Amino acid sequence: MSAGDGKLSLENDAFIPDQNRPAAGSRLDGLRQFAEMCVLYAMATVAFFLIFFKFSPDAGFVYFYNMTNDVKLASDLVSVEQFKQHYLSSNSINYPRFLGNLIVYDLSNWIGALFKSTDPRLNPLRLSAAVVACVSFYIATVTPVLNARLLDRKTFFCLFAFMCLIGQYVYYPGDMSSLAFLSLSLYFVLQEKFIPAAIFMLATGLFRESAFHVVFFVAVWAACDWRMPLKNRAALVLGFAVLFVVEYKLIRLFYPAPISVVASETGIETSITKIFFERGLWSLTTVATLALHFLFLAYYFVTRDGRNSRSWRDRFFLVNCLALPLWIIFYRMLGGNISEFRLLFPALLPIVYGVAYNARSEWPTDTAAPIATSKSEA
């Protein structure tokens, strides 16, 4: 039914007269959207705290492991000594990923001085991890959520929250923190604002080596956006690559450790048999984790619009989607545990952005200025 004459509409909300609905962009509509996002952030916050306090997946794994093995383990988020050994010791592979480790540890000491409990689920380390995870989530999402012209905010928020919450069944101090700044770096690449993108790439590198994904993002941008001269695009890619390498070398100089146990012992794995058919790859957890990764990929393609005219951002997201299997192989070659969903956060991130980009109501073209700098279609 038509919505233009004040009659009932079946295209939006059935049986609601159009004249009683607030106009788009009105103050009431803005307050409603603000309230919606506040509720969504509250839901995500409570979910994070439930994961760390009630579900306690790391402690649950240790409990069942100790029931079936002679070796006794302790949870990193319950044992301060084990946390220091795994994350603050110079012989740990996590040592160069220093900033997230230090933040969680120092914050736990501050919380411990204010709050005491005999319940291991309320260990200061666990409280600290929950706070850091929540704050990182806020940092990662607030800026993209505020730009409704680039992304559909609710689609982005819900899919990003789903990805993060699923990944918390294994906790590493640097994961959420690095993802926060990686998200901002990708956001500014999509805005073609490369100085803040570089700054947030360097911030990402203080938590994890996943900062090199930003170099890939810029390289994909250079291949997909043809408005800038080729030599300028190549210079930007080279600049980001040099920044990453310099920061990586400096961190490894002051915080030396191998990139992974497997890489340090056997080098980069090149055996096709071990990459694709090693026993651990076909565990139920790994199969389910990989299936979820490819369902994210499938979700992007089913939300992709069939328009004839596409912007460089469409090409950008498509290339990143097609690169997901290559990232899986790459991490396998470095000895990464693919059964841990959080390992591929950086590869899933542009897919989440792509789905939210497809869901928005305004469609930019290649010829206009970046989305954030113009009211014309960008």
Does some domain include residue 109?
A: yes
Could you tell me the pLDDT band of residue 282, with boundaries at 50, 70 and 90?
A: confident
Residue 272 tokens, joined: 């096709």
Residue-level pLDDT at 304: 86
Please list the alpha-helical segments (H only) found in the chain: 27-50, 57-68, 80-83, 98-114, 124-146, 153-167, 173-190, 194-205, 212-224, 230-254, 261-266, 272-277, 284-303, 312-322, 324-333, 345-359
Does some domain include residue 167?
A: no
Q: Measured between alpha carbons, how far is 256 from 259 in angstroms, rounded to an integer? A: 9
The residue among 123 and 197 whose pLDDT is bigger is 197
In the numeric block, the tokens 């990003």 are attached to 160
Does some domain include residue 335?
A: no
- Asked if residue 203 lies in contact with residue 370, where contact means CB atoms within 8 angstroms, the answer is no
- Asked if residue 341 lies in contact with residue 289, where contact means CB atoms within 8 angstroms, the answer is yes
For residue 62, the enclosing domain spans 32-150
Does some domain include residue 205?
A: no
What is the count of structural domains for the chain? 1
Number of residues written out for the chain? 378
- Asked if residue 223 lies in contact with residue 244, where contact means CB atoms within 8 angstroms, the answer is no
Does some domain include residue 83?
A: yes
Q: Measured between alpha carbons, how far is 145 from 126 in angstroms, rounded to an integer? A: 28
> How far is residue 350 from each of residues 186, 287, 345, measured CA to CA in Å?
8, 22, 9
Angle, CA 48 vertex, CA 45 and CA 53 arms, to 5°: 120
In tens, the pLDDT along 35-68 reads 999 999 999 999 999 999 888 777 777 776 667 7
In tens, the pLDDT along 212-270 reads 999 999 999 999 999 999 999 999 999 999 999 999 999 999 998 876 655 555 556 66
Does some domain include residue 314?
A: no
In the numeric block, the tokens 């919450």 are attached to 165
Please list the alpha-helical segments (H only) found in 261-344: 261-266, 272-277, 284-303, 312-322, 324-333
> How far is residue 274 from each of residues 265, 282, 290, 300, 339, measured CA to CA in Å?
15, 11, 17, 30, 15
Average pLDDT, the chain: 84
Does some domain include residue 306?
A: no
In tens, the pLDDT along 134-182 reads 999 999 999 999 998 899 999 999 999 999 999 998 899 999 999 999 9
- Please spell the DSSP secondary structure of 83-126, one letter per residue: HIIIIISTTSTTTTSHHHHHHHHHHHHHHHHH---S-GGG-HHH
Q: Measured between alpha carbons, how far is 285 from 338 in angstroms, rounded to an integer? A: 9
Report CA 92 to chain centroid distance, whole Å.
24
Residue 162 tokens, joined: 């789903």
Q: Is-above-0.95 flag for pTM?
A: no
Does some domain include residue 217?
A: no
Indicate whether 331 pLDDT > 80: yes
